Amino acid sequence: MSFKVKKILYLTFYFEPDLCAGSFRNTSLAKELAKISEDIAEIHLFTTQPNRYNSFQLRASENEVFGNLRICRIDIPKHQNGMKDQIISFRTYYKEVIKKTKAEKYDIVFASSSRLFTAYLGYKVAKKKSTLLYIDVRDIFYDTMKDVLKNDFVKSLTLPFFKLIEKITFNYSTHINLISEGFIPYFNSYKKNYSYYTNGIDSIFLQPKENIQAQNHPDGVKTIVYAGNIGEGQGLHAIIPDVAAELQDYRFIIIGDGGAKYKLEKELINNNIKNVELRKPVKQDELINIYKKADFLFLHLNNYKAFEKVLPSKIFELAAFDKPIIAGVGGYARDFLIKNVPNVILFSPSNSSEMANKVRNYKYERIIRDEFINTFKRENINKEITKSILGYL
């Protein structure tokens, strides 16, 4: 009796060695999927050359094979994270995937998507090949664009188009995983099989913790560290300059890059802020050492309605450490932190006075969050998603 090896098409715009949440999630998930399906499936993964940050340039092999996992990285035009740049870059990825999968047959298409169009690409391939589509939704693109786009004329042209793409894609799908349960009300109109596998804590952050002891600062200045994207979604330009001016006896270290970094730089210069240091993106092992030396770890989302539904991946990274977290978030993310993460200073997004007051009045302590870490290990979550995907074969 012959056994037919199944074929899985895996689509993710970001993958290692790129530095972003989408890359970290999909790198570990793809490897887990390949390991568990080693004897039953081949995985064809299509991604891009590292492109998340213009200041972090690194090339990877165009084609790699690890057992039953075949990775193809597509060259895309360089971009500055602007809307036009990203459209051009994605169009290149889209065309190349369509071309390279033309002669292939797949048993299921898995698409991990934060910007909708990777999911739409999955739909185009799955429909053409009359196969199943499993979508991992990391963001509600339409919802975000309603807040981010400021020009009413542009909105009137683009939002109906985005909604159409969303309906076509999600209506065709076999299964939808929502990375945040805050997305549930938005997806009520799509009668699909759902799961709610969140982001998780990467194993690199699960190192033995040192004995908790007070940080030693000869100059008496405590450090607040942020690392990640510096875009409209994070809204650092709307909080950091003002709160740094109020907390002159604290030092802010901002690590990263993104489309709104220039706004942050401009505000810091215009307000003559001297206690904020901007650094380029760094690799995870270097970031761990920076986190260990910090006094506080910082997280912020812009004051947009759409962000009341999201669950930032940064929560899982920061909560792996024993440092207090300062978080300017609302909605589901706020509720999640209150329920699951001890030792958090919560304030309303973009409210610098509230943040400054709460930091000043905070009695400093460090707590190892064992229960959270055990619950949200990426390894455990990946196993569950993998079972879910393979269940359709």
**Residue 188 shares a structural domain with residue 211:** no
**Residue 29 shares a structural domain with residue 86:** yes
- pTM of the predicted protein model: 0.89
Q: How confident is the model at residue 87 (pLDDT cuts 50, 70, 90)?
A: confident
Which of 60-64, 217-221, 322-326 bottoms out in mean pLDDT, i.e. has the lowest?
Answer: 217-221
User: Would you say residue 110 lies in a domain?
Assistant: yes
**Residue 259 shares a structural domain with residue 133:** no
Nearest Cα to 247, choosing from 212, 219, 267, 222? 222
User: Would you say residue 14 lies in a domain?
Assistant: yes
User: Would you say residue 19 lies in a domain?
Assistant: yes
User: Would you say residue 323 lies in a domain?
Assistant: yes
User: Would you say residue 1 lies in a domain?
Assistant: no
Q: What is the CATH number of the domain that holds 89?
A: 3.40.50.2000
Residue 337's identity, in one-letter code, is L
Q: How confident is the model at residue 78 (pLDDT cuts 50, 70, 90)?
A: confident
**Residue 216 shares a structural domain with residue 130:** no
The number of residues making up the chain comes to 393
Rg of the chain over CA atoms, in angstroms?
21
Query: What's the pLDDT score for residue 3?
Result: 60
Q: How confident is the model at residue 1 (pLDDT cuts 50, 70, 90)?
A: very low
User: Would you say residue 329 lies in a domain?
Assistant: yes
In 100-249, the DSSP E strands lie at 108-113, 132-137, 175-178, 193-195, 222-229
Domain limits at 29?
6-200+377-390
Residue 146's identity, in one-letter code, is K
User: Strands 175-178 and 41-48, how do they pair?
Assistant: unpaired
Token pair recorded at residue 284: 């995870």
Q: Give yes or no for residue 213 having a pLDDT over 60.
A: no
**Residue 383 shares a structural domain with residue 368:** no
Query: What's the pLDDT score for residue 210?
Result: 59
53: left (phi over 0), alpha (psi -120 to 50) or beta: beta
Q: Give yes or no for residue 96 having a pLDDT over 60.
A: yes
Query: Measured between alpha carbons, how far is 104 from 106 in angstroms, rounded to an integer?
Result: 7
How do residues 30-55 score in pLDDT, each as one tens digit? Answer: 999 999 999 899 999 999 998 766 65
**Residue 177 shares a structural domain with residue 248:** no
Query: What's the pLDDT score for residue 283?
Result: 87
Give the DSSP per-residue string, 216-278.
--TT--EEEEEEEE-STTTTGGGTHHHHHHH-TTEEEEEEEE-TTHHHHHHHHHHTT--SEEE
How do residues 247-269 score in pLDDT, each as one tens digit? Answer: 999 999 999 998 899 999 999 99
User: Would you say residue 348 lies in a domain?
Assistant: yes
Centre a 10 Å sphere on the Cβ of residue 350 and count the other Cβ atoms it contains.
18
**Residue 137 shares a structural domain with residue 251:** no
Nearest Cα to 69, choosing from 102, 29, 129? 29
**Residue 36 shares a structural domain with residue 159:** yes
**Residue 176 shares a structural domain with residue 208:** no
User: Would you say residue 356 lies in a domain?
Assistant: yes
Q: Give yes or no for residue 100 having a pLDDT over 60.
A: yes
**Residue 253 shares a structural domain with residue 348:** yes
Query: What's the pLDDT score for residue 4?
Result: 80
In the chain, the DSSP E strands lie at 6-12, 41-48, 63-66, 69-74, 108-113, 132-137, 175-178, 193-195, 222-229, 250-257, 276-279, 296-300, 325-328, 344-347
Q: Give yes or no for residue 284 having a pLDDT over 80.
A: yes
**Residue 196 shares a structural domain with residue 207:** no
- What is the count of structural domains for the chain? 2
Q: Give yes or no for residue 301 having a pLDDT over 80.
A: yes
**Residue 332 shares a structural domain with residue 194:** no
